[in-house]
Structure formats: structure tokens, C-alpha cells
Chains A and B, each alone.
Chain A
Amino acid sequence: MSKVRVLVGTRKGAFILTSDARRKDWEISGPHFAGWEIYHINGSPANPDRIYASQSTGWFGQVIQRSNDGGKTWEPVGNKFTYEGVPGSHLWYDGTQHPWEFKRVWQLQPSLTNPDTVYAGVEDAALFCSTDGGLTWQELPGLRAAKGHLWQPGAGGMCLHTIILDPSNPQRFYVAISAAGAFRTDDGGQTWRPINQGLNSLFELPDASAEVGHCVHNLAMHPSRPGVLFMQKHWDVMRSDNAGELWQEVSGNLPSDFGFPIAVHSHEPETIYVVPIKSDSEHFPPDGKLRVFRSRTGGNDWEPLTKGLPQSDCYVNVLRSALAVDSLDPCGVYFGTTGGQVYASPDSGDNWKSIVRDFPAVLSVEVQTLP
């Protein structure tokens, strides 16, 4: 029988939750790296037992951990992230220029085909690549050449938080940066261009439709339709049907179109999920009701999913990397909250149950479906 492994990064360590395909009973392993912030923990699609974790604290900086046995044992690998050339500067909160400084790794995205190749999205925003299993890292500096001097930090810092690799074209991938926007490369990461046409950031930017500077919170793509992208922006849920060339808003009837994560159903490319948050000033669900919203039409028409989720007095947040799906049938959907709950739905979001209720604040959730 298939298994599911849920990789959870929290403010105080990593946890690994495993279940069989019924997704009813769960074993919990952890905390791994107790006391450290785990911004992301993610497995290789090519070898699911190869897992990478980003471990950091303000005191001791960045550590990258690697496992070759599905998270049972770990070894620290390379943590030297050095920007190529003169790092230069970017916009600061007050509109002045500020030097580029490495702070932490937000996202680890292993190659779709090679477990030793892994991409790292970092703060201050840049993309790094390792081809030796994380021992050494090299920046892909062409990304920062895409008007990096106009990028600026959001409240969480200036972070590259989303990396999407196109399964149909190994030369094409997408990244998203807060607050710079979405970017695409068609030559394996050498050159990049902003893909933000159609975004409207009326309350965040002096030029609401600027080429860069948008606070994109998350991107999602279904592997069978790599030209279709979905975006949760600071405000607005968006989609693009042409690989990011043009975006259109699909917020529709959402109670709020502010939020952080977005995900696509593993078998239905037009079924997408978001978790509306009241506003950028109040990072909790509208009306104290924790609701995942699902659209089966690729946006615009949304339905609240509430069964098993708290529908009163709930004031947690769901961060940008904390929503994920498995590839079982029916599709499982998972998310973690800043209140330390991890919820799972084994039926595409119709019914929810908490796997755990009292973890540290959840920073990221990834899911591996194992044979």
C-alpha cells in the first residue's frame, strides 16, 4: 500500500508525519534539529529518501541538512552562500538603497530528475544551485540582473520563497520573490525576465503595474499543464495561461483575496486551493473561521471547505509554504498553521482532521507520496 510522508518545518524544528494511504493514523517523528527554525524541508522527486532541510537561527546562521534515508538520519552539508561578484544593492523599506546580505534559505527545490541537484531560494533574494547534493552552492546571478536594484523587502524580508521547475522543459523554471514579483528563465537559469504583466499592486507600489516590485506570496502549477500558473499575491488571486506572460485576477467570490499559499489538486488541473486571510494588517482568517477555499474552475468560483476546521475564534495564519497536496486518489490536501496545527484532508478538502494540534508555529509543509 502507498504511504504518505508529510515534511513539516516549524519555528522550533522539523517533524516528519507518516501514514498509509488511508491517511487516518499518523506516526510522528521529531523534532529534528530541535530549537532551530526550519524554513523548508523538501524531498527529491527522483529519490524520495533524499531530503533536504534548511535549518537556521539568528544566532548561528544557516545550516543545510541532508538525509539519504527518508529523514531517519541527517548530515550537515554546505552552508556557504556567497553572491556572485559585487552583490550591489536593492531598495530598502524607506526607499533608500541597501546592500545585499545573505540571511537564510527559504526554499529548497530538488531537481525533478537528479537527487544531487537542488535549488535554494534565499533572503536577500537570490537563487543558488548545488549539483553535488548540497555540498557546494553557486548563485545563478542572472536573476538579480532582472532589475534587482528595484526589488524591496516585505514584512518577512526580501525572500525568494517559491521555485517551480517545468517538468516539460528542463530549461524553464519560475521563481517568486517578496517583494519583487515572478520571474522566468528559459535557459536553465542563466537569464531571467520579470513576468508580472497584469498584476495590480495599488496599495503597495507607486506604479501599481510596475514591471517589478510586486509582493507575490506564492505560485503553483500542475505538472500536466506547465503553462498554466496560479498566484496568490499580497492581495489578489491570479492566473496565467501563457507561462506568466499575462496574468488575470480570479479572486471572484472569495471573502478576502489576501493570503499566502496556493496549491493545485494533484489530478484536477483546474482545482485550486487558497486560505483567505483578513488583510495585510490582520493576519488571521476572516470572522475567526479557518476556511480553505476551493475552486474547481481554475478560479473565480470558490467554495468554502469547513468540515473539521475551527469555525469560531480562530486567529492563526497559514504561511506561504504551508499548503501542499499528495498524489493519491482521492487527492490529499495538507496545511499547517502558525498555531501549530497540521490539518489533513484525505478527500480533496471535503473533510479535515488535525494530525497534530500543538506543534511550534508551522513554516512549511511538503508531502511525499511513496510507493
Chain B
Amino acid sequence: MIRVVLPYHLRTLAQVGNEVELEIGGLKTLGSVLDALEARYPMLRGTIRDHVTRERRAFIRFFACGQDLSLEALDAPLPDLVASGAEHLMIVGAIAGG
């Protein structure tokens, strides 16, 4: 089970609470988490990554275990603590403005 924390505006869009729990079979990667997230909450398609290129939107970041995973490959394994559900994966809107 993977625990995902969404930014406020995507929580309101998907009408979910602070944390989303996803069951993912096989290798647990950023890509598989996003696939599962978008499958369960179709309204999130296009809001985290581009519909066509599947690339992360410019102002979205992925944090976990005190690390910035934003530039990791989508098929790279997630940290063990995230894959085991001990730690959550944070999807964050980048700081912008003052």
C-alpha cells in the first residue's frame, strides 16, 4: 500500500482527505503510483503530468523521506519506506510568488 499526500487544490478537485492510499502490484515507482492515482481519480489526469507527453507539470514536485524525487525517472523504484507504506509520497505544488 502506498500513501500519497496531494496538494490542497487537488484534494478538493478529487474530493479526498489529506492522504490517499493506493494498492499497487509489482514494482512501485513514481510512474506506477501516478497511473494508479489517475485510474482511481480520473479528474486528476492532466493536473500532475501532461496528458500527452506524460511529463511532470513544471510546477509540480515529488517529495518523500526528506528527498526531492522530482527529477527521478518515472520507472525508478521508490524508496523502501514509501514502497512499504511507512512513509508517504508527497505531491507538492512548487513555491511560487512571495
Contact = CB atoms under 8 A, between A and B. Distances in A.
Q: What range describes how many residues of B lie at the interface?
A: 10 to 19
A76 B47 CA distance: 12
Contact of B51 (A34, A57, A76, A80): A80
Nearest to B60: A59
B85 interface: no
B96 interface: yes
A61 B13 contact: no
Main secondary structure, interface of A, reads loop
B5 to A, nearest CB: 15
Contacts of B94: 59
Given A82-B51, A82-B52, A59 B46 contact: no
Interface string A234-270: 0000000000000000000000000000000000000
Contacts of A35: 8-9
Contacts of B43: 63, 76
Contacts of B7: 59-60
Bin chain A's interface residue count: 10 to 19
Interface string A33-55: 01110000000000000000000
B47 A63 contact: yes
Nearest to B51: A80
Interface centre among B7, B47, B93, B96 (most CB of A within 10 A): B47
A99 B91 CA distance: 29
Given A79-B45, A79-B46, A59 B93 contact: yes
B57 interface: yes
Contacts of B13: 60, 63, 76
Contacts of A79: 45-47, 51
B96 A58 contact: yes
A67 B57 CA distance: 27
Contacts of A82: 51-52
Interface string A199-236: 00000000000000000000000000000000000000
Contact of A60 (B51, B52, B93, B96): B93
Interface of B: 7-10, 12-13, 43, 45-48, 51-52, 57, 59-60, 93-94, 96
Interface of A: 34-36, 57-63, 76, 79-80, 82
A-B pairs with lowest CB-CB distance, top 4: A76-B43, A60-B47, A59-B59, A59-B93
20 contacts: A34-B12, A57-B9, A58-B96, A59-B93, A59-B94, A60-B13, A60-B57, A61-B46, A61-B47, A61-B57, A62-B46, A63-B13, A63-B43, A63-B47, A79-B46, A79-B47, A80-B45, A80-B51, A82-B51, A82-B52
